[in-house]
Amino acid sequence: MLLLIDENVPNSVAAFFADRGHDVRFVRDLFPAGTPDPVIAAMGDRLSAIVVTWDRDFEKIVQRVPEGNRRAFRRLGRISFRCNEVDGRVLLEKWIALLEFHYEQALQQQGDFRMIVQIQESGLKVS
């Protein structure tokens, strides 16, 4: 997976993805601090990346829309964490195999292949 790691993501989460062989790129290395989320989303869309974030604003920016409905960010995925940042790495370790499986399945689908996932204390939500 090509992952665009938002500023609010703990290094331990980014390191875990990198250790699993995923292509990890940091927003902080690509943009000045405080760059607006739509700018980050535009870059992620251009790269067909998955934004990893604790920021709820990306839920409005990166979402599924009915097929045929033209909308921005059609190649951008999202992994949102809805948990304490301290628990993020533990939950990621718990769900990584399912995330990777879902990603592989999404790549094989025609049309909207984006991965949109929410990791939370109670489980994994895929939309």
Percentage of the chain modeled with pLDDT above 70: 89
Domain 2-126 architecture: 3-Layer(aba) Sandwich (3.40)
Average pLDDT, the chain: 87
Give me the pLDDT at residue 66, please.
Answer: 44
**The pLDDT of residue 73 is above 80:** no
The Cα–Cα gap between 119 and 17 comes to 14
What are the Cα distances from residue 117, in Å, to 28, 32, 34, 73, 77?
22, 26, 24, 16, 8
Task: For the chain, give every domain's residue range.
Answer: 2-126
79-108 per-position pLDDT tens digit = 999 999 889 999 999 999 999 998 888 778
